[in-house]
């Protein structure tokens, strides 16, 4: 009787060469997948501590305070319009800033007085903007530029002719930012903005050295002001602390302002990715 060959089934073991081929094929696929995942790890930094995901929305919040009684808080929502933050593309941003500061000023003399009156002024400031822009992403660096409209309002506790920023205004705003790792153990980041509302500007630059995981420590420098005041800050930052998808940093140092005087500052910022 002629033997009939049966096809291999789940119950019939494959010959050794076939099983070896399947094993080699599976190993090759695993290696390809591992290499593909590793190619994207540059975005999330240290791949042993950071999740591998591609955010499309970033929520940023920060708060700062000085010993000269200046307190400000800011929040911004940035979204990737086409794709995610791992790739080049258009972005949008909605942001807001609110805070208070105080200073002493000499009011003009009122007849029959011949000497002006020195008075303490309390100021409340609110800014809000809607911006659009574009981001460029490279292996170790990312850059973004934004432009749009900003609303600004400053209220004084007492009329001060020396402070031209009082009142409400609508203007244009531009901003730019970058983040990079010049070497595997260093980081460099910066942000700068300018608004036609009272010629308001803000800039911050940080350099850091990796101390563990994706956490960096190093110096920072800030310059901010408008038509009424200018302020400079220099200190030390700790950046890259994480809790899940929440990343945050701490910094503090010395501040000097020609309006509010010299003192110290502390700053907390956080970012949540979706």
Over residues 103-114, mean pLDDT: 81
How far apart CA 235 and CA 263 sit, in angstroms, is: 12
In percent, how much of the chain has pLDDT > 90? 74
145 within a domain of the structure (yes/no):
yes
Domain that holds residue 106: 65-273
107 within a domain of the structure (yes/no):
yes
Residue 225 near residue 233 (C-beta atoms within 8 A): no
Residue 148 has pLDDT above 70, yes or no: yes
Whether a cis peptide bond, with omega within 30° of 0, leads into 112 is: yes
In percent, how much of the chain has pLDDT > 70? 80
Spatial CB neighbours of 157, under 8 Å, sequence gap ≥ 6: 121, 122, 123
Tell me what pLDDT residue 11 has. 40
Place 26 in a pLDDT band, splitting at 50, 70 and 90.
very low
- What sign for the dihedral angle of Cα 41, 43, 48, 53? negative
38 within a domain of the structure (yes/no):
no
- Model confidence, pTM: 0.79
224 within a domain of the structure (yes/no):
yes
What CATH number should be reported for the domain holding residue 257? 2.40.160
Over residues 120-148, mean pLDDT: 97
Which has more confidence, 63 or 244? 63
Residue 168 has pLDDT above 90, yes or no: yes
How far apart CA 165 and CA 8 sit, in angstroms, is: 84
Residue 95 has pLDDT above 60, yes or no: yes
103 within a domain of the structure (yes/no):
yes
Give the chain's mean pLDDT.
85
Over residues 236-242, mean pLDDT: 97
C-beta atoms surrounding 182 within 10 Å: 11
72 within a domain of the structure (yes/no):
yes
Spatial CB neighbours of 68, under 8 Å, sequence gap ≥ 6: 101, 255, 257, 260, 261, 262, 263
Residue 97 has pLDDT above 60, yes or no: yes
50 within a domain of the structure (yes/no):
no
Residue 2 has pLDDT above 70, yes or no: no
Closest of 211, 213, 225 to residue 255, by C-alpha:
225
Give the highest mean pLDDT range of 4-13, 115-124, 218-227: 218-227
DSSP string for 115-178: SPEEEEEEEEEEEEEEEEEEEEE-SSEEEEEEEEEEEEEEEESS--TT-TT-EEEEEEEEEEEE
Angle at 61 between CA 57 and CA 65, to 5 degrees: 170
Tell me what pLDDT residue 108 has. 84
Would you give the DSSP letter of residue 226?
A: -
Spatial CB neighbours of 113, under 8 Å, sequence gap ≥ 6: none
152 within a domain of the structure (yes/no):
yes
Residue 136 near residue 143 (C-beta atoms within 8 A): yes
Place 27 in a pLDDT band, splitting at 50, 70 and 90.
very low
Would you give the DSSP letter of residue 46?
A: -
Tell me what pLDDT residue 53 has. 64
Number of structural domains the chain divides into:
1
């Amino acid at each position: 009787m002629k033997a009939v060959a049966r096809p291999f089934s789940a119950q019939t073991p494959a010959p050794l060469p076939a099983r070896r081929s399947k094993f080699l094929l599976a190993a090759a696929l695993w290696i390809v997948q591992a290499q593909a995942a590793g190619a994207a790890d540059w975005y999330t930094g240290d791949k042993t501590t950071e999740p591998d995901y591609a955010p499309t929305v970033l929520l940023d919040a920060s708060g700062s305070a000085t010993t000269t009684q200046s307190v400000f808080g800011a929040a911004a929502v940035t979204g990737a319009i086409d794709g995610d933050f791992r790739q080049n593309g258009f972005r949008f941003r909605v942001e807001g800033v609110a805070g208070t500061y105080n200073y002493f000023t000499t009011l003009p003399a009122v007849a029959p007085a011949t000497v002006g009156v020195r008075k303490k002024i309390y100021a409340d400031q609110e800014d809000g903007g809607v911006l659009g822009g574009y981001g460029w992403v490279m292996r170790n660096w990312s850059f973004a530029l934004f432009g749009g409209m900003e609303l600004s309002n400053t209220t004084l506790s007492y009329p001060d002719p020396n402070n031209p920023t009082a009142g409400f205004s609508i203007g244009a705003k531009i901003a730019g930012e970058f983040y990079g790792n010049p070497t595997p153990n260093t980081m460099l980041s910066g942000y700068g903005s300018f608004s036609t509302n009272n010629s308001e500007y803000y800039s911050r630059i940080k350099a850091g050295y990796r101390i563990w995981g994706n956490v960096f420590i190093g110096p920072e420098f800030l310059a901010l002001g408008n038509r009424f005041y200018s302020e400079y800050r220099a200190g030390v930052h700790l950046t890259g602390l994480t809790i899940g998808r929440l990343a945050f940093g701490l910094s503090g140092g010395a501040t000097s302002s020609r309006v509010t005087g010299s003192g110290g500052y502390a700053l907390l910022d956080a970012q949540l990715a979706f």
